[in-house]
Amino acid sequence: MRDDNKQGSDFPAPEAGVMPRHIGIIMDGNGRWAAARGLPRVEGHRRGVEALRRAIRIAGDYRIPFLTIYAFSTENWRRPAQEVTYLMGLLRRFIRNDLAELHGNGVRVRVIGSRENVPPDIIALIDEAEAMTRGNANMTLVVAFNYGSRQEIADAARRLVEMVARGEMRADEIDMDRLSGAMFAPDIPDPDLIIRTSGEQRLSNFLMWQAAYAEFVFLPQHWPDFDKAAFDQALAQFAARERRFGALPGVVTGGATNGLKVMTGS
Ligand code: IPE
Ligand code: IPE
Ligand code: MG
């Protein structure tokens, strides 16, 4: 990643008039990548971390301000204990090995998700990563770990109801902004583009509230094969989309857009 003092970017997006401000990635297909090579699933996960490093670097080169990666879902606990343990270990090693470099590149790290069942030493590492990188401004890397959108929304609803019960808010004050504000990372803008690798065309409980007007790109490659060409393909597809936000093309007016803004260039 370059330093931020440099003017402009050496990496114009392919056919880009518009670059996404926030990209979410559902890194899928590690197991299938490994199975296709006769390797154990965990080898796919190990190689998936290398693809993740690539993706972060490319996003940095393109000056994408926000990147959210889906690392572990609340449903992934249903996998065999051995695989779950391996995935926990990968996050542990990722933070230990990569935090200094991320920090050096001006990346702010945020982790969204539940802390329930997460080993205490990983929680400590997450806290350390967030505290160390809090002031960084080149890019925000949001790691969705032990994350589930339904749980996030249910927790947000419960917190608001508790505020009402304590008399801190009236029930009729609960609106979309309040609900948004009660999510894990209310300061992060909604994703513009969600990429999922490995051909599956579903959200799997990822950012369901935030992705209301996201564009979706589904790539056939398995996650360990994700590279710059794949990234560019996703950006090119995004640039070719017409985002309307419920309005008519090019004439999104104020008022009833629920805070959504049409992007007017990169
Ligand atoms: C994505 O790869 C990584 C995680 C879900 C943690 P998978 O492990 O889901 O790989 P496939 O989908 O079984 O191939
Ligand atoms: C989504 O992938 C979760 C992550 C990428 C972390 P899954 O592989 O768990 O999703 P499903 O089970 O195919 O829907
Ligand atoms: Mg999968």
16, part of any domain: no
**Ligand 1 residue neighbourhood (C-beta within 6 Å):** 27-32, 72, 76, 87, 198, 223
d(CA 198, CA 192): 20
Question: How far does the centroid of ligand 2 lie from the alpha carbon of residue 190, in Å?
Answer: 21
The conformation of residue 70, written as its DSSP 8-state character, comes to E
Q: Do the beta carbons of residue 36 and residue 224 sit within 8 Å?
A: no
Q: Residues with catalytic annotation? A: 28, 76
Residue owning tokens 């950012």: 207
Among 25, 30, 32, 76, the mutation site with the greatest number of ligand 2 atoms within 8 A of its Cβ is 76
Residue nearest to atom 2 of ligand 2 (CA): 28
Question: How far does the centroid of ligand 3 lie from the alpha carbon of residue 28, in Å?
Answer: 5
Residue 67 burial (CB < 10 Å; 0-12/13-18/19+)? Answer: buried
Task: Give the chain's domain count.
Answer: 1
Q: Do the beta carbons of residue 227 and residue 204 sit within 8 Å?
A: no
pLDDT, tens digit, 9 for 90 and up, residues 132-155:
999 999 999 999 999 999 999 999
d(CA 251, CA 57): 35
Residue 227, domain extent: 22-148+191-239
The three-class DSSP label of residue 256 is coil
260, part of any domain: no
d(CA 260, CA 251): 13
Residue owning tokens 């969600």: 194
pLDDT, tens digit, 9 for 90 and up, residues 191-238:
999 999 999 999 999 999 999 999 999 999 999 999 999 999 999 999
142, part of any domain: yes
103, part of any domain: yes
CATH number of the domain encompassing residue 74: 3.40.1180.10
Query: Does this model's pTM top 0.85?
Result: yes
